[in-house]
Amino acid sequence: MNLSSFSDFLSRQAPHLLPAADVRSNWASAGDAPSGADLPHGTTIVAIKFPGGVLIAGDRRATQGNMIASRDVQKVHIADDYTATGIAGTAAIAVEFARLYAVELEHYEKLEGVPLTFRGKVNRLAIMVRGNLAAAMQGFVALPLLVGYDLDDSDPGNAGRIVSFDAAGGWNIEDEGYQSVGSGSLFAKSSIKKLYSHVTDADSALKVAIESLYDAADDDSATGGPDLVRGIYPTAVLIGGDGAEEVTDERIAALAREVIANRSVPITGTAGRRGSNA
């Protein structure tokens, strides 16, 4: 047994406490066939590198079939001082994944006396994702994006990292400088691709992230855009040499209003007039 791995210890001593186990057992006790489509799902997550760091952001909507299950889901989580995750997929599993991963990193540091290297953090999350493969094949999919600041990199300006995963635990460090997961990822990533040349610092990266989530929400019904009426906005985490910090609602709200204002079509005096020559 690997005592430095909390998730490994949990899988051996109390497997029923793993993220997907509780969901599947509840369905089994109810006598229904498990189906991930019948549970709330969360999307969309974006990650963007900038000089000196990296950010991760997510929308707030969760859907259940063609219904909106929630409008204020927290999909982006700080895992430790220099790492954060955003997980798209079955909402219940995604939240438990994020919590378990944070405990995994803290557990290792307490037992070993030193934090995991960034590559070690990637491998630990990959093992956890692979452990959920059986549930993923039943529709209970939870795919994370991992971002972090690599303290071992000799170039602090290029130490931001973005890692994507597949359902089998395979992972890839993104070299393009941005990535997205979730049902709106195609639209979000296309938006970032066009705007990434404007990313020069944390503020510009945050604005591009909000722009991309706005574009994703415009074309993907499962992605929620900024909600000015309810005051619900995307959430984001910035990570740099000073560590990870959650972006305040006020900062995101101001950028969201700016994006919406720039996208708004002005109403002209002749708009909507018909048959005026009668």
Give the model confidence (pLDDT) of 167-193 as tens digits: 999 999 999 999 999 999 999 999 999
Give the model confidence (pLDDT) of 206-222 as tens digits: 999 999 999 999 999 99
Can you tell me the distance from the alpha carbon of 78 to that of 177, in angstroms, rounded to the nearest whole number? 20
Give a yes or no: residue 30 inside a domain.
no
Position 9 pLDDT exceeds 70: no
Give the CATH number for residue 121. 3.60.20.10
Can you tell me the distance from the alpha carbon of 128 to that of 144, in angstroms, rounded to the nearest whole number? 11
Q: Which amino acid, one-letter code, is at 148?
A: G
Give a yes or no: residue 226 inside a domain.
yes
Give a yes or no: residue 55 inside a domain.
yes
Q: How confident is the model at residue 203 (pLDDT cuts 50, 70, 90)?
A: very high
Give a yes or no: residue 7 inside a domain.
no
Q: What is the mean pLDDT of residues 21-47?
A: 64
Q: How confident is the model at residue 7 (pLDDT cuts 50, 70, 90)?
A: low
Domain count across the chain = 1
Q: How confident is the model at residue 269 (pLDDT cuts 50, 70, 90)?
A: low
Domain that holds residue 168: 38-263
Give a yes or no: residue 101 inside a domain.
yes
- DSSP, collapsed to helix, strand or coil, labels residue 64 as strand
Position 19 pLDDT exceeds 80: no
Give a yes or no: residue 6 inside a domain.
no
Q: How confident is the model at residue 30 (pLDDT cuts 50, 70, 90)?
A: very low
Q: Which residues are annotated as catalytic?
A: 43
Select from 255, 42, 58 the least CA-distant residue to 147: 58
Give a yes or no: residue 240 inside a domain.
yes
Give a yes or no: residue 88 inside a domain.
yes
